[in-house]
Structure 1
Amino acid sequence: MTWIQKKIPLSPRSRGAYLITEEVTKSLPELKDIKIGVLHLFLQHTSAGLSLNENWDSDVRGDLSDALTKLIPDDHEGRFRHTGAGEGPDDMPGHIKSTLVGASLSVPITNGRLNMGTWQGIYLLEFRDYRHQRNVIATINGE
């Protein structure tokens, strides 16, 4: 049984939904050596999230971001107790969205490849307007 763990720094991005499957797999050449296993991804941040979703139609990315913003809009009215010490109206809504979406996911590995559905891709959902550097901890377990 093999265990591999790496920190993957993602390109800084502002608010939106970003397909990062290729960015992740290019950072993990060890995947090709795993016949059967699991890739676990953990995002080290509290105002962004990870998700699996449609990877073909780019409109999905905009729709995901728009829907989450409508569900939990920026706080210009002081609705929340946490004000983020001047971090802006997107701070606490970003934390709530991160809680709903989640900061981790697991994907099976089969014969050296991520075993996702035809239309599935790995997404970073960034909930802040300012471009933040985000890191993902990738853990591979397999043989």
Structure 2
Amino acid sequence: MRAISAIISTVALVISLISIKSTKSSQSTMSWSQKSFSLSSRSRGCYLVTDEVVQNLPEVKEYKIGLLNLFIQHTSAALTLNENWDSDVRLDMTDALEKIAPESWNYRHDAEGSDDMPAHIRSSLIGASVTIPIKDGRLATGTWQGVWLCEFRRYRHSRHIVATIQGEKYK
């Protein structure tokens, strides 16, 4: 009976050590990274900014697998994933959003001009963030997907992005 108890204790100890080693090795490759950057200033419209994002985030190449979250720190612009090839899609999106929240309405909030409140509405509709998978050191977007900045103000604005990466780095 003591022999069986000793064997069970030894097996439990080995399993525990394997579990600890496995946990330690997976913890050592998991990583978080966060930084802020600004996009080039633009006036009203939808713009493909994937290349600008990638240029500002060379650390993406360090990740085997992970998630990139991009958050825009503004209430009159937005980020989204959409068509990356045909620029007519961006023009059509701009036109459609202007019809959904037209500047011509009699809004109460116009502290920064007649395009102020429509910009807030459009921003809420599109959203302040996107999350993109990272696979083998690259953004894992679909063939026709790209990161868009949707600028809803008439005059040029510089937009600030907080980028957060969480994932497993290459060893």
Q: TM-score, normalised by structure 2?
A: 0.79
Structure 1 residue runs of 5 or longer lacking an equivalent are none
Q: Does residue 9 of the first structure (1) align with residue 43 of the second (2)? A: no
After superposition, where does 1:42-121 map in structure 2 within 5 Å? Answer: 42-75=71-104, 77=105, 79-84=106-111, 87-121=112-146
Coordinate RMSD, CA, aligned? 0.8
State the structure with bigger RCO (CA 8 A, min sep 6), 1 or 2. 1
Structure 2 residue runs of 5 or longer lacking an equivalent are 1-29
Please give the alpha-carbon distance, in whole angstroms, between the structure 1 residues aligned to 2:117 and 2:145. Answer: 29
SS of the residue 1:35 aligns to: strand
For residue 126 of structure 1, the aligned residue among 151, 156, 161 is: 151
Please give the alpha-carbon distance, in whole angstroms, between the structure 1 residues aligned to 2:155 and 2:108. Answer: 22
After TM superposition, give the deviation of residue 133 of structure 1 in Å. 0.8
Larger Rg: 2
- Which residue of the partner structure matches residue 141 of structure 1? 166
Number of aligned residue pairs: give it: 139
Please give the alpha-carbon distance, in whole angstroms, between the structure 2 residues aligned to 1:56 and 1:127. Answer: 21
Q: Does residue 35 of the first structure (1) align with residue 59 of the second (2)? A: no
CA deviation vs aligned residue, 1:9-45 (integer Å, no higher than 9, x gap): 0000000000000000011111111000000000000
SS of the residue 1:123 aligns to: strand
Q: TM-score, normalised by structure 1?
A: 0.95
Q: Return the structure number with greater helix share.
A: 2
SS of the residue 1:70 aligns to: helix
After TM superposition, give the deviation of residue 83 of structure 1 in Å. 1.8
SS of the residue 2:154 aligns to: coil
After TM superposition, give the deviation of residue 71 of structure 1 in Å. 1.2
Please give the alpha-carbon distance, in whole angstroms, between the structure 2 residues aligned to 1:24 and 1:69. Answer: 26
After TM superposition, give the deviation of residue 70 of structure 1 in Å. 1.1
After TM superposition, give the deviation of residue 8 of structure 1 in Å. 1.4
Please give the alpha-carbon distance, in whole angstroms, between the structure 1 residues aligned to 2:120 and 2:83. Answer: 24
* Paired amino acid for 2:135: T
- Which residue of the partner structure matches residue 51 of structure 2? 22
